[in-house]
A and B are shown apart, each in its own frame.
Chain A
Amino acid sequence: MKKEEKKEYVNKKGLRLDGRKVDETRPIKITAGVLKNAKGSCYLEWGINKVLVSVQGPREVLPKHMANPLKAIVKFTYRMAAFSVPDRKNPRPGRRDIEISKVCGEALEKAILLEKYPNTQIEVWAQVLDSNAGSRVAVLTAASVALADAGIPMKDLVTAVAVGRADGKIIVDLNKEEEDAPDAVDMPIAMMTNSQEIVLLQMDGLFSKKEWEEAYEMSLKALEDVKKHQINALKQQFKEPIETKTTEKKEDNQVFSKSLSKNSPSDETKKEKHSSEKKVVKTEEKEIKSEVQ
């Protein structure tokens, strides 16, 4: 019998099995507001993971005895589709589904300003359509975008990423192959990055103190990257952002004022940078001269 070749999880060039660097996440694509009938929704693709999250509420609590007269309650439902894993998954919610629903709901509770809506419930449904390790961080990331899309006030977006170890190397955002490494450690971490408040931290395996510190530092970088994707997804819904429009207007005004001030030397240096502006100024100069003549 042949001996199985030992996998090299991080090669000499510092690249992983799928060609990523150790601190690189899988490609992320987030789209907010995909479902018309939900208050807020989000579709997220994180590598092979595909997640659809919808939000309803705040609305009346049912059953009524669960209502809290001091704040809203969050009901988080995490479910994996029967076709989301290579073998068929029993669609009945199992131990894992219930656990992830609980921890993700509690993580989001920390970010949402629940005190504003007493006696109500906010329902979040997360459906995993395709999974390849790290589905809970994908769900949590998508859920916070869906909540923001619903207009629910939050202190910050909850951003999540997994860090871990494979073959003695600390890596960010493990895929299934890396998660199955003999010495693998998987640590999903969710955080509100403004206050650096950790809202979810689980660990499968054991880290040494040094490894933990390294992993934590790497996760902070990755979280910033993921948060940019979240914010972009939220802003993309609104066509023609106002920021660019107003700046364009200001530029136009600057060009006009330049033409009136008859080219001061400092203006000329600026013009070299913007050749398009230069042309506009020249044409306006000609017009002014012709008017004078």
Chain B
Amino acid sequence: MKKIVAPGEVVTEQRKKMGDNVYSLNGKIYSEVIGITDNESTMASVVALKGFYMPKQNDIVIGLVVSELFSGFLVDIGAFHWSFMSKEGIREPLKRGSVVSVKVLRVNELNEADLAEPRVFYGGEIEKISPVKVPRMIGKNGSMLEVLRRGTNCNLIIGRNGRIWAKGGNTELLFKAIKIIEEEAHLPNLTNKVTEFLSKQKR
């Protein structure tokens, strides 16, 4: 059975392997954040409902070039600090204000990220969602992403940092669907609900 837990609430009193967002105290496992836990799972973990983006290696994120240096660029990817991207091997014509999708090359112990492989976006729109809801936006094996693409005919890229770039198709409808996903990310049967919503709107 799934339930919502607040920080400091007991996740389980049984001996279980500890997953994300939990800590143990006096033989009990407690939650660190507000999120959802599954009692029936063999692992005690909490899926956060609120949070922010922590860069990880190999993440594809959407960022904004904020400054140009002698040897590279500073890119705002929504992490704690601006990230550095070296000019080495970059062919794209980047300048201050460019919107790019980039790959996180490495992250150090202070959560500072180095970036590489930029792709510049020309035109399109950007919508922000909570980074903890990105997995729901993509769905299992990209099922939700496929539903959104088919339903709205949009060219769509979702960054791990919660920024979504969309171009072409019905972007207005797409952003409505995204809002539904964001509001109901913790509820089951979301893919069906979004499919239904998109098919209704299309008519």
Contact = CB atoms under 8 A, between A and B. Distances in A.
Interface in A50-79: 58-60, 69
B187 A242 contact: yes
Contacts of B187: 240, 242, 245
A149 interface: yes
Indicate the size class of the contact surface on chain B. 20 to 34
B2 A242 contact: yes
B36 A242 contact: yes
B172 to A, nearest CB: 21
A195 B25 contact: yes
Interface in A180-236: 192-195, 230-231, 234-235
A241 B183 CA distance: 12
Nearest to A152: B33
Given A153-B33, A238-B49, A242-B36, A119 B80 contact: yes
B40 to A, nearest CB: 10
B8 A59 contact: no
A113 B51 CA distance: 14
Contacts of B4: 235, 238, 241-243
A154 B111 contact: no
B186 to A, nearest CB: 6
A151 B23 contact: no
A213 to B, nearest CB: 24
Contacts of A120: 80
A69 B110 contact: yes
A149 B50 contact: yes
Nearest to B22: A153
A231 B9 contact: yes
Contacts, number: 95
Contacts of A113: 32
A151 B2 contact: no
Interface string A156-175: 11000000000000000000
B34 A58 contact: no
Contact of B23 (A155, A192, A193): A155
A17 to B, nearest CB: 34
Contact of A194 (B25, B33, B48, B111): B25
A47 B6 CA distance: 25
Contact of B34 (A148, A239, A247): A148
Contacts of B25: 155, 194-195
B109 interface: yes
A154 B31 CA distance: 8
Interface string A92-133: 000000000000000000000100011110000000000000
B21 interface: yes
A258 interface: no
Nearest to B184: A239
A157 B7 contact: yes
Given A117-B111, A194-B30, A151 B52 contact: yes
B142 to A, nearest CB: 24
Given A148-B34, A156-B7, A194-B8, 6 more contacts: A118-B109, A151-B48, A154-B33, A155-B25, A155-B32, A234-B34
24 contacts: A117-B80, A118-B109, A118-B110, A118-B111, A119-B111, A148-B34, A151-B48, A151-B50, A151-B132, A152-B33, A153-B21, A154-B7, A154-B32, A155-B7, A156-B8, A193-B8, A231-B6, A235-B6, A238-B49, A240-B187, A242-B3, A242-B36, A243-B3, A245-B187
